[in-house]
A and B are shown apart, each in its own frame.
Chain A
């Protein structure tokens, strides 16, 4: 009886949040598909229905496809750096007997910083004229050898077409390594010690221990990390925006920054919404593909 009365009370509490979610969350998402078919500029009360013109324009927009290519570069780049380094640091930290907490904190520390702060720190590290990195390289006499090695006339880390994207991946690695290492550490902690004992009795050691015990049992964690890296990689915005030095570099423009610029600077909300709709489709496709490609039975010993 009390349960029944209490159940009635659910609605007054639930309805306001539900309305809020519908109005602020769901409705704009549905409405966005309509805006994608208009020439809405974000201010004018009236907009014209343009059908699929925004999508046709998108097909010929070389800046957009440049941004798509850059985004894929960053997504692949972060997967191939953060995944192995995250795992490596997790394994190293877990194998340390003393100072475990210290190393964990040290590696995780950059992850607690806001990405904007991270970007500003690195802007002043990487600046070619007054940056710490070039000053250090100069002091070590490494500027000219590095220029020759990289085939550039200046060590302009964020401004040279050859160096800008890899430099951003390095910053991304520094900033996010702790978070992904922590995820791997949680996965490693779940592997029972008996597994290692049994494998050692069977003669496994070092690499074979990692390959036959750690890696298979860590696979669900790896799958999650991969998924997060792909989604975050495709939606990357803050770091690219803030490292642009007050503007978004055309050398490192990604999908999210291009959508932002199209909407808020260029005042083409209709077109930007069409781009955002495609971004959503791309993220969903990659997420599903990565799940399909990494699908396998959970290993149990």
Chain B
């Protein structure tokens, strides 16, 4: 009996659920309607008829009363054009909130557009977003951490899933009547977004890995900001003699790798390094003189005692604390440093930022004004064939224009302390000099030549090798051989 009841109840619940899913729900609009309702009212009236004869009679009078009545109107909602934004940040994180505010403003200014923020967090989220596009239901705007579509992302561009912004870039930017939208981006950003005749992405934020230094130390020991490796090493020697560690940072989390990458960049130049990392040209090998020399330079810096004791294996937060407490003079780290350490920086701490030094004899390989980092871009997908809602590239472009307007970017920089790619937007107030420094940048390249996104496995292996090199577990030559072996193995598997 109990079993039967249980089965019956389960059946009823399932049926109810199915019914609620299957029945289209009409949209009920409650409105107030004025209707005339006849009301019978009895009125006593005295009528005088002929001489002294009083007759009482009853008269029915119709009156009109206003009553409220609910009227159910079934209406079909006018479909809005959706702009789905795939956000790298959680919806309630500061970035998520600020981005959504721009979305609401888009809706206000363009009632036909509806902004939807979908969370796609994590460094690998771009793969999930790409998959959606491949399956015919793309988001409209992809703002995943590494969506820069060029140069490594060129592969993504070749997929044909992205919308070509070339035409739109020739039109005026948001709130402007003349000029072009493209002109509002700084030179480094423009280089990143243009692929041949096309424009693949809309960079809005630059995170640079730059060399930070303690200006009090520089003043005290009469040092000049170094432009070359030799000058940096000379400064380090002076600092060492005065009992101060020249180089902070390090750890096992890639910062040693950043040092190696940048030295190698100075020795090889951008194109050759890109070819080596991405194996686009087999003539470049890890066992070539430059990669070995870069490893030797890194080891020499450690051997001479210029780095903090925790350079190999220290915790990155502890290493940052060492820099801000004056135990180390330099730190090679991203522009996120100030935001990360906001509450721990002594008020009287003075610092400045410079580009990573060039190497004597290799100055022609790269311009001094060069830095690598992460560029966050918006990428617009073409409308999908299996999209569940009515998407609009037009609305997506409107959003992108609003988002990259000087006004909105200035607000965002103020709220989020990032470095904008839009000309005229001031740098974050808490990083002195960074705005000026980066406005003069001549070459920007993505961290790890974009392999972080296309081959995260190689990034892990490369960082392992760099850490082992710094910990003297590998000689520079062994390091180069190990890198070559790892690269050979990885690319042989990709065939």
- Name the B residues within 8 Å of A248 (CB-CB): 252
Instruction: Please state if A265 and B456 are interface contacts (CB–CB under 8 Å).
Output: yes
Instruction: Please state if A156 and B313 are interface contacts (CB–CB under 8 Å).
Output: yes
CA of A161 to CA of B321, assembled, Å? 24
- Name the A residues within 8 Å of B189 (CB-CB): none
- Name the B residues within 8 Å of A160 (CB-CB): 312-313, 471
9 smallest beta-carbon distances between A and B, as pairs? A159-B313, A247-B253, A128-B309, A245-B315, A266-B457, A154-B309, A246-B253, A127-B318, A247-B252
- Name the A residues within 8 Å of B438 (CB-CB): none
A12, A124, A127, A160, most chain B CB atoms within 10 A: A127
CA of A131 to CA of B327, assembled, Å? 12
- Name the B residues within 8 Å of A194 (CB-CB): none
Instruction: Please state if A129 and B245 are interface contacts (CB–CB under 8 Å).
Output: yes
A280 interface residue per 8 A CB criterion: no
B425 interface residue per 8 A CB criterion: no
> 17 extra interchain contacts, Cβ-Cβ under 8 A, other than A43-B131, A245-B316, A265-B457?
A8-B2, A43-B124, A43-B127, A45-B131, A123-B315, A129-B319, A130-B327, A134-B309, A156-B310, A158-B313, A158-B314, A244-B253, A249-B313, A251-B468, A266-B460, A267-B124, A267-B457
B328 interface residue per 8 A CB criterion: yes
Q: List A233-275 residues whose CB lies under 8 Å from chain B.
A: 244-251, 261, 265-268
Instruction: Please state if B313 and A245 are interface contacts (CB–CB under 8 Å).
Output: yes
CA of A265 to CA of B124, assembled, Å? 8
CA of A246 to CA of B313, assembled, Å? 10
A164 interface residue per 8 A CB criterion: yes
- Name the A residues within 8 Å of B311 (CB-CB): 159
The residue of chain B having its C-beta at the shortest distance from the C-beta of A242 within the complex is B315
A63 interface residue per 8 A CB criterion: yes
Minimum CB–CB distance for A244 against chain B, Å: 6
B390 interface residue per 8 A CB criterion: no
Minimum CB–CB distance for A190 against chain B, Å: 43
Partner of A127, one of B3, B254, B315, B456: B315
CA of A123 to CA of B314, assembled, Å? 8
Chain B interface helix/strand/loop/mixed: helix
- Given A130-B318, A131-B318, A244–B312 Cβ distance below 8 Å? no
A/B interface sample: 23 pairs, CB < 8 A: A41-B127, A44-B127, A63-B461, A127-B314, A128-B308, A128-B314, A129-B245, A129-B319, A158-B313, A158-B315, A159-B312, A161-B472, A164-B313, A245-B318, A246-B252, A249-B467, A250-B464, A251-B313, A251-B473, A261-B460, A265-B460, A266-B460, A267-B124
CA of A5 to CA of B457, assembled, Å? 59
Instruction: Please state if A159 and B473 are interface contacts (CB–CB under 8 Å).
Output: no
A9 interface residue per 8 A CB criterion: yes
Minimum CB–CB distance for A176 against chain B, Å: 22
Instruction: Please state if B312 and A156 are interface contacts (CB–CB under 8 Å).
Output: yes
CA of A128 to CA of B309, assembled, Å? 6
Q: Could you list which residues of chain B lie within 8 angstroms of chain A, going by C-beta atoms?
A: 2-3, 6, 124, 127-128, 131, 245, 248, 251-254, 308-319, 321-322, 325, 327-328, 456-457, 460-461, 463-464, 467-468, 471-473
A128, A131, A159, most chain B CB atoms within 10 A: A159
Partner of B456, one of A154, A159, A244, A266: A266
CA of A104 to CA of B208, assembled, Å? 52
Minimum CB–CB distance for B471 against chain A, Å: 6
A83 interface residue per 8 A CB criterion: no
Chain A interface helix/strand/loop/mixed: loop
- Name the A residues within 8 Å of B317 (CB-CB): 245-246
Partner of B128, one of A43, A127, A128, A261: A43
CA of A246 to CA of B333, assembled, Å? 14
The residue of chain A having its C-beta at the shortest distance from the C-beta of B309 within the complex is A128
Interface size class of A (residues with CB under 8 A): 35 or more
CA of A129 to CA of B321, assembled, Å? 9
CA of A91 to CA of B102, assembled, Å? 66
Minimum CB–CB distance for A172 against chain B, Å: 17
Q: List A174-210 residues whose CB lies under 8 Å from chain B.
A: none
Instruction: Please state if A159 and B471 are interface contacts (CB–CB under 8 Å).
Output: yes
Interface flags for A158-173 (1: CB within 8 Å of B; 0: not) read 1111001000000000
The residue of chain A having its C-beta at the shortest distance from the C-beta of B470 within the complex is A159
- Name the B residues within 8 Å of A130 (CB-CB): 318, 321-322, 325, 327
Partner of A246, one of B251, B308, B327: B251
- Name the B residues within 8 Å of A245 (CB-CB): 251-253, 313-318
Instruction: Please state if A247 and B463 are interface contacts (CB–CB under 8 Å).
Output: yes
A155 interface residue per 8 A CB criterion: yes
A12, A129, A130, most chain B CB atoms within 10 A: A129
Instruction: Please state if B318 and A161 are interface contacts (CB–CB under 8 Å).
Output: no
Partner of B251, one of A9, A134, A247, A268: A247
B254, B316, B471, most chain A CB atoms within 10 A: B471
CA of A45 to CA of B2, assembled, Å? 43
The residue of chain A having its C-beta at the shortest distance from the C-beta of B482 within the complex is A62
- Name the A residues within 8 Å of B245 (CB-CB): 129
B124, B245, B315, B463, most chain A CB atoms within 10 A: B315
- Name the B residues within 8 Å of A155 (CB-CB): 309
Instruction: Please state if A250 and B467 are interface contacts (CB–CB under 8 Å).
Output: yes
Instruction: Please state if A156 and B252 are interface contacts (CB–CB under 8 Å).
Output: no
- Name the A residues within 8 Å of B248 (CB-CB): 129
The residue of chain A having its C-beta at the shortest distance from the C-beta of B130 within the complex is A43
- Name the A residues within 8 Å of B127 (CB-CB): 41, 43-44, 267
Minimum CB–CB distance for B373 against chain A, Å: 18
Partner of B310, one of A129, A261, A265: A129
CA of A245 to CA of B252, assembled, Å? 7
Minimum CB–CB distance for A10 against chain B, Å: 11
Minimum CB–CB distance for B139 against chain A, Å: 16
- Name the A residues within 8 Å of B467 (CB-CB): 249-251
- Given A159-B471, A246-B252, A127–B131 Cβ distance below 8 Å? no
- Name the B residues within 8 Å of A261 (CB-CB): 460
- Given A156-B309, A245-B313, A250–B318 Cβ distance below 8 Å? no
Minimum CB–CB distance for A103 against chain B, Å: 32
CA of A83 to CA of B472, assembled, Å? 34
Partner of A129, one of B3, B124, B309: B309
- Name the A residues within 8 Å of B315 (CB-CB): 123-124, 127, 158, 245-246
The residue of chain A having its C-beta at the shortest distance from the C-beta of B256 within the complex is A247
Minimum CB–CB distance for B478 against chain A, Å: 12
- Name the A residues within 8 Å of B318 (CB-CB): 123-124, 127, 129-131, 245
Instruction: Please state if B252 and A249 are interface contacts (CB–CB under 8 Å).
Output: yes
CA of A124 to CA of B318, assembled, Å? 7
CA of A202 to CA of B313, assembled, Å? 57
Minimum CB–CB distance for A171 against chain B, Å: 13
- Name the A residues within 8 Å of B312 (CB-CB): 156, 159-160
- Given A127-B315, A130-B322, A247–B456 Cβ distance below 8 Å? no
CA of A5 to CA of B325, assembled, Å? 74
Q: List A1-59 residues whose CB lies under 8 Å from chain B.
A: 5, 8-9, 12, 41-45
